[in-house]
Chains A and B, each alone.
Chain A
Amino acid sequence: MTVEQTEARPAAKRWLCEMCGFIYDPEEGDPDSGIPPGTPFEDIPDDWMCPICGAEKADFREVEPGEFPEM
């Protein structure tokens, strides 16, 4: 793969827990809950809960491009 192709690859989608501000980053996963790094949010089991506040998967929304640029 060329450098140009690597740069063109879209960043993995991150998801925000609207209840507590936790951001799920697919690159990190949630290993303590059995979610290995590299797991897209869509592939997480429906009974997974936010590690900070215990909210359900349905309480997350996709982070918009450019949202939370400090992170």
Chain B
Amino acid sequence: MITGYGHFAQLAESLQWDETAIDLTADAEAFPQLDQDEYDQVLGLLAGFCIGETSVATHLTSFNAAASSDDMMAEVFTAQARDEARHARFFDRVVREVCGVPGTNMTERVDALRDRVSPDLVELFEERLPAIAASVAEDHENLTAAVGLYHMILEGVVLTAGQHALLQTLKGLSVKMPGVVKGMELVLRDERWHIGFGSRIIQSADVVDDQMEELLTQGTKAASAWGDLIAQDDIAHVEHLHQRRLKSVGIKFW
């Protein structure tokens, strides 16, 4: 079982952080020293986060409106939207100040990075998420399906896999990038309660059989969206976590 929405509202307030306060000086000095494989791996994962976090920060507002009948749930969506916007700003700051990605704004830098990630990942964040957000805006009854995609698949599987992969990559580099590690750890901390919040909504919802099947199959497919940037063992691990999470919120599929 998972706590009520009031707990998440309190948690969100207690976990605020400032992305501009993280010192990226050492990271900016280290990044040009990466060898080609390290460079491609780090920039590829960062590109995925820039695309993903920018999209989720944009589209979460539809969810908030759909939750308007439950003030506390709506408040938590607002708190989460604040986090997602911060995450997008943090990764944009990293690619701008550390990696030197060109562009006069976040949108231009995302455009410059899009070729570094697989089409599957781009489709998830730039086609499927906007589509489900539009469906929620049109009919608030679609909120459960939207949370299923957003919190359980995109956050619980895709972004979680990427976060662990990036942390693992950073800690194994030939040079140190402490500012990016620090920010990534704070993002991961936020994402844990976001996933808990989404799981709470799913746990309370009347999820029908085809939605259960969809959650399972989407999760399995989405785990591979990073392509070669994430090792097969890590993909299998995140798939296992996804299935375990679904079982814990009452999604039975065996």
What residue of chain A has the Cβ atom nearest to residue B244's Cβ?
A51
* Pairs A–B under 8 Å by Cβ, sample size 20: A16-B3, A20-B2, A20-B192, A20-B193, A20-B195, A21-B2, A21-B3, A21-B8, A21-B11, A21-B197, A22-B196, A23-B3, A25-B1, A32-B247, A32-B248, A52-B196, A52-B248, A53-B192, A53-B196, A54-B241
A53-B116 Cα distance, complex, nearest whole Å: 28
Are A32 and B3 in contact, CB atoms less than 8 angstroms apart? no
| In the assembled complex, A71 has its CB within 8 A of some CB on chain B | yes
Are B248 and A21 in contact, CB atoms less than 8 angstroms apart? no
Among B189, B192, B241, the most chain A Cβ lie within 10 Å of the Cβ of: B192
Residues of B within 8 A of A17 (CB): 196
A4-B1 Cα distance, complex, nearest whole Å: 29
Residues of A within 8 A of B241 (CB): 54
Binary interface profile of A, 24-39, with partner B (CB < 8 Å = 1, else 0)?
0100101011000000
* Nearest CB in chain A: distance from B159 CB, A: 12
B200: contacting residue among A16, A19, A21, A55, CB under 8 A: A21
Q: Is the interface of B mostly helix, strand, loop or mixed?
A: helix
Residues of A within 8 A of B193 (CB): 19-21, 53
User: With contacts A20-B2, A52-B196, A71-B4 known, what are 16 further pairs, Cβ within 8 A?
Assistant: A16-B3, A19-B189, A21-B3, A21-B196, A21-B197, A22-B196, A23-B2, A23-B3, A25-B1, A32-B248, A51-B247, A52-B2, A52-B195, A53-B192, A53-B196, A70-B4
Residues of A within 8 A of B199 (CB): 20, 22, 52
On chain A, the number of residues with a Cβ less than 8 Å from chain B's Cβ atoms is 21
Are B1 and A71 in contact, CB atoms less than 8 angstroms apart? yes
* Nearest CB in chain B: distance from A30 CB, A: 8
A21-B15 Cα distance, complex, nearest whole Å: 14
A54-B193 Cα distance, complex, nearest whole Å: 11
What residue of chain B has the Cβ atom nearest to residue A18's Cβ?
B11
Are B244 and A33 in contact, CB atoms less than 8 angstroms apart? yes
Are B7 and A68 in contact, CB atoms less than 8 angstroms apart? yes
Residues of A within 8 A of B196 (CB): 17, 19-22, 52-53
Residues of A within 8 A of B248 (CB): 22, 30, 32, 51-52
Residues of B within 8 A of A30 (CB): 248
What residue of chain B has the Cβ atom nearest to residue A59's Cβ?
B192
Residues of A within 8 A of B244 (CB): 32-33, 51
